[in-house]
Amino acid sequence: MARSSVPCVWTTLGFVLVAIGLVAQAEARAFFVFGDSLVDNGNNNYLITTARADSPPYGIDYPTHRPTGRFSNGLNIPDLISESIGSEATLPYLSPELTGQRLLVGANFASAGIGILNDTGVQFVNIIRIYQQLAYFQQYQQRVGALIGIEQAKRLVNQALVLMTLGGNDFVNNYFLVPNSARSRQYALPDYVRYLISEYQKILQRLYDLGARRVLVTGTGPLGCVPAELGTRGSRNGECIADLQQASALFNPQMVQMLNALNTKIGSHVFIAVNAEQMNMDFISNPQAYGFVTSKIACCGQGAYNGIGLCTQLSNLCPNREIYAFWDPFHPSERANRIIVQHIMTGSTKYMHPMNLTTIMAMDY
């Protein structure tokens, strides 16, 4: 290849410079987020939907002290994962700021209100259902391919960390939304759970086919213990609501089995089960041990347990968000999110199956 050395040196140098730039960019691993309001960081701000967190007091403890679309007083779980692995927070996929080099950080495709099933969250009208999130992921890859080349884009996706948080809404905003819901007339709860798991498996297979190779999959929290359910379903002494607890107790172990089966089929630990039920249950059953005054009463809300309706400017608002496990009737406070992410990073196999994120980060690099 000694054809004409000068232009060759220049192209090589040019390539090396581009490559160094890319390596610097790619040093922090890309991060992609899919799912519902527990992980949405602002996509719904761009949609015509009632599932939104873009007015005060949401964001009251965020660095800007302004609402962002996160369903939190401050940071949410994806923010804290980004922080823990030393990367920038991802932007919502619909953000106009998500262009150029910022694409290489990753993207958040999540949308509050969605579930595994297409009919979950229909009451929120215009939300990004999971198959649309995956279609956007494909579109994202084309955009990144145009920026850094198809092969580099593929590598970025293969080496990325992915978070998938789905399932709670299929119970809360579908099966149990109203008494005698269409789904509850169609399925007994154990059959509904089996159906959800089989649909979830297809979604995760599609994510794998799109190039994801390291995916944290969170199970549902203890659905019957959130202030919204305590309030609306008439918990007398703060006891969790039995049918919703049964739903998470059925769903979570079957999800772990399904992930194991997928990993066996693929021949690699692509899917990591995050035991969100246990992580939440720790501070719900013993809030004082974690510095919370209560895990029953939401910081922002109204009515019984501050669990009725939405968190708005007219709601009761607790003065100190550090001592509440729940920010609003459904969503943990930033402090509770920090406890959850601490478990994701360093938890034993009781919390992270088969391994925690610290181990994953060490293995993959």
Instruction: Enumerate binding residues for ligand NAG (CB under 6 A).
Output: 118, 131, 199, 346, 348-349, 355-356, 358-359
Nearer to ligand NAG, 40 or 170 (CB): 170
- Asked if 269 is an active-site residue, the reply is no
Out of 328, 333, 343, 353, pick the active-site residue: 328
The strand order across the sheet containing 161-165 reads 106-108, 31-35, 161-165, 215-218, 271-274, 352-353
* Minimal distance, residue 356 CB to ligand NAG, in Å: 4
β-strands 271-274, 316-317 pairing = unpaired
C-beta of residue 273 within 8 angstroms of C-beta of residue 352? yes
* Minimal distance, residue 354 CB to ligand NAG, in Å: 7
Nearer to ligand NAG, 88 or 199 (CB): 199
Nearer to ligand NAG, 256 or 323 (CB): 256
| Residue at 354: amino acid letter | P
Structure tokens at 35: 């799912």
CA 102, CA 227: separation in Å to the nearest integer? 37
- Asked if 65 is an active-site residue, the reply is no
| Radius of gyration of the chain from its Cα atoms, rounded to whole angstroms | 21
Out of 37, 72, 111, 295, pick the active-site residue: 37
Nearer to ligand NAG, 118 or 288 (CB): 118
* Minimal distance, residue 80 CB to ligand NAG, in Å: 17
Nearer to ligand NAG, 118 or 285 (CB): 118
End-to-end Cα distance, the chain: 34
Structure tokens at 159: 């080496």
Out of 331, 333, 343, 353, pick the active-site residue: 331
- Asked if 331 is an active-site residue, the reply is yes
Looking at the chain, which runs of residues are DSSP E strands? 31-35, 106-108, 161-165, 215-218, 271-274, 300-301, 316-317, 352-353
- Name the closest residue to ligand NAG (Cβ): 346
* Minimal distance, residue 332 CB to ligand NAG, in Å: 21
* Minimal distance, residue 164 CB to ligand NAG, in Å: 16
Query: Active-site residue numbers?
Result: 37, 328, 331
